[in-house]
Amino acid sequence: MAKIIKFVDTAGSDENLVPVGRLDAIRVTATTTVVCSFINADSGESPDLYTLTVTDGKSDEIALEMANECANGRGGVFTVSASGHTDISTVAFDAGS
């Protein structure tokens, strides 16, 4: 089974499960922001973006933690959410268009 990333929004009402194989990049864009870019399932469309707001100064650590989890050869699901990580305060999704 392919590894899956489960993104859960802050309210816990929206969840997106994305295969790690669609991951294009994990970018640290500020000391409080990590942006994960995924190849859109609709060919030719803009990438799907997941923006994580994190504790000030923790963006590098969060990005590395995610990269290590993605690189781990085991299958399974790992969750990215504010409720599951003390340094993540929000998870936002922007669908490609």
Q: Which two tokens stand for residue 80?
A: 């990215």
What tens-digit pLDDT sequence spans the chain (97 residues)? 578 999 998 766 788 899 999 999 999 999 999 999 999 877 778 899 999 999 999 999 999 999 988 887 666 788 888 888 889 998 888 877 4
pLDDT at 33: 96
As a whole number of angstroms, the distance between CA 33 and CA 59 comes to: 6
Cα separations (Å) of 17 from 3, 30, 78?
10, 25, 9
Number of domains in the chain: 1
Whether pTM > 0.85 for this model: the answer is yes
CA distances from 63 to 6, 41, 43 (A): 15, 23, 26
Domain ranges, residue 44: 3-94
User: In angstroms, rounded to a whole number, what is the distance separating the alpha carbons of residues 11 and 81?
Assistant: 10
CA distance 62 to 34: 8
In the beta sheet, which residues pair with residue 23? 38
**Rg of the chain's alpha carbons, rounded to an integer?**
13
